[in-house]
């Protein structure tokens, strides 16, 4: 089946990670996503490393199930093509710096005149107003200014540390997809389109606040520096590797003590209640580390699971792929891409019982669907050739289709 978003048309002017991943979620769920890219170079992510068949792994992973058209937005006729695309679209998304789309003629006011019912998503780094609205943004910048690097460090006194994945980009993608879907739900009920604005800074602060800004939750109280929770980050060394163990409740703590045959720890006054275990966290985690290091990961898992203690091995990325639970969930699937060859990817996380989505196609080559999309807009072969000659659209795909010269 085509998926729960079948019939939804999305015009995607985004590049890099957050915008394209947001629309990939929609494409995975059945939406027709038309990726608009600049001729010749395309989305910058196409040029990143880990390439096969001229396609980078990141581009392959965050642009599947889309169609690509190359359009020069600096040419009036190129802007006209985007205007034609949005006439019957449900959603348009862009992540240009604030003010750029207005100068190009594809800002919300211009698009709304063409399609008043459009859901128009503006995705930015810091927002469209304020002293940092024009500041260039990458993921580490948002990690730093949102406080995430301090959270990752463990305390305000430690050196700030980056999360070693592009969390702000990824969470902004999730937030953008949810917001566009919510706006589509509102439109289905009221018939009303709208402009949706989302900044990466806002998305990450919203993400962090509930669990990491406790001291700032009460505005009428003094805010002290955040102190380290413990000297161990809940990843413990074993005799042959690493694992994690969680003993939040009294039952779990007693289960750990029994599993490790350390009954005296269950009676230790330092660890008698959750409050006391938190107060004496360094001592408690040191005890746990000493216990776990005496046995292998497998041996620890066996006894801890038998006593109902939450635990897991700390897997390498290669080990994740073959873990029995990962295999059981069928979260990973393999396909053959016409340019990149055999691929293994993670499917869309949600499983829909009534409208399961199918993998329709891999990430597009640059401009792969330019002619197809323009024909859908009613452009003739002569018009398409003229647009190519004028540099309004790219000719990348057409060049690849030309037969090789005879010897």
Question: Which CATH number is correct for 9-209+328-401, 1.10.287.1080, 3.40.50.300, 3.40.50.10540, 3.30.390.50?
Answer: 3.40.50.10540
Structure tokens at 393: 């659209």
DSSP β-bridge partners for residue 195: 120
Please report which confidence band the pLDDT of residue 133 belongs to, taking 50, 70 and 90 as the band edges: very high
- The predicted pLDDT at position 105 comes to 98
Rg (CA), the chain: 26
Average pLDDT, the chain: 94
Write down the pTM of the prediction: 0.94
- The predicted pLDDT at position 226 comes to 74
Name every residue whose Cβ is closer than 8 Å to that of residue 102 and which is 6 or more positions away in sequence.
109, 110
pLDDT at 401 over 60: no
Structure tokens at 68: 């690509």
- The predicted pLDDT at position 228 comes to 63
CA of 243: how far to CAs of 152, 228, 292, in Å? 19, 21, 9
DSSP state of 4: T
Question: Residue 235, SS3?
Answer: strand
Round to whole Å and give the CA distance between 338 and 327: 26
Structure tokens at 366: 């640059």
- The predicted pLDDT at position 398 comes to 61
Q: What is the CATH number of domain 242-313?
A: 3.30.1540.10
pLDDT at 400 over 60: no
Q: Where are the domains of the chain?
A: 9-209+328-401, 242-313
Question: Residue 68, SS3?
Answer: strand
Residue-wise pLDDT for 58-75, tens only, equals: 999 999 999 999 999 999
Residue-wise pLDDT for 16-39, tens only, equals: 999 999 999 999 999 999 999 999
Same topology between domain 9-209+328-401 and domain 242-313:
no
Cα 269 to chain centroid, rounded = 45
Structure tokens at 184: 């589509």
Name every residue whose Cβ is closer than 8 Å to that of residue 378 and which is 6 or more positions away in sequence.
none
- The predicted pLDDT at position 157 comes to 87
């Amino acid at each position: 089946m085509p998926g729960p978003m079948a019939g939804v048309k999305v015009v995607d002017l985004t590049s890099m990670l957050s915008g394209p991943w947001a629309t990939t979620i929609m494409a995975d769920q059945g939406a027709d996503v038309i990726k608009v890219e600049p001729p010749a170079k395309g989305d910058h992510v196409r040029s990143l490393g880990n390439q096969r068949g001229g396609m980078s792994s990141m581009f392959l992973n965050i642009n599947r199930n889309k169609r690509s058209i190359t359009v020069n937005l600096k040419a009036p006729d190129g802007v006209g093509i985007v205007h034609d695309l949005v006439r019957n679209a449900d959603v348009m998304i862009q992540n240009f710096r604030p003010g750029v789309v207005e100068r190009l003629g594809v800002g919300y006011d211009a698009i709304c005149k063409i399609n008043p019912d459009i859901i128009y998503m503006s995705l930015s780094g810091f927002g469209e107003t304020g002293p940092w609205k024009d500041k260039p943004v990458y993921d580490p910048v948002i990690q730093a200014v949102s406080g995430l690097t301090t959270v990752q460090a463990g305390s305000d006194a430690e050196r700030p540390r980056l999360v070693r994945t592009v969390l702000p980009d990824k969470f902004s993608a999730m937030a953008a997809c949810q917001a566009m879907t919510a706006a589509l739900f509102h439109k289905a009920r009221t018939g009303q389109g709208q402009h949706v604005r989302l900044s990466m800074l806002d998305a990450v602060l919203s993400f962090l606040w509930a669990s990491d800004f406790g001291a700032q939750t009460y505005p009428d109280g003094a805010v002290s520096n955040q102190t380290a929770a413990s000297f161990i980050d809940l990843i413990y060394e074993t005799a042959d590797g690493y694992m994690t163990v969680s003993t939040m409740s009294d039952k779990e703590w007693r289960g750990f003590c029994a599993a490790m045959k350390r009954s005296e720890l269950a009676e230790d006054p330092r660890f008698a209640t959750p409050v006391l275990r938190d107060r004496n966290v360094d001592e408690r985690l040191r005890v746990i580390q000493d216990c776990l290091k005496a046995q292998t990961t497998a041996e620890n898992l066996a006894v801890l699971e038998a006593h109902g203690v939450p635990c897991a091995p700390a897997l390498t990325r290669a080990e994740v792929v073959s873990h029995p639970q990962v295999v059981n969930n069928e979260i990973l699937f393999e396909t053959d891409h016409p340019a990149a060859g055999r691929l293994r990817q993670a499917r869309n996380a949600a499983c829909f019982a009534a409208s399961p989505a199918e993998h329709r196609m891999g990430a597009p080559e640059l401009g792969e669907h330019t002619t197809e999309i323009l024909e859908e807009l009613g452009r003739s072969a002569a018009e398409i050739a003229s647009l190519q000659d004028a540099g309004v659209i790219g000719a990348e795909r057409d060049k690849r289709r030309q037969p090789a010269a005879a010897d």
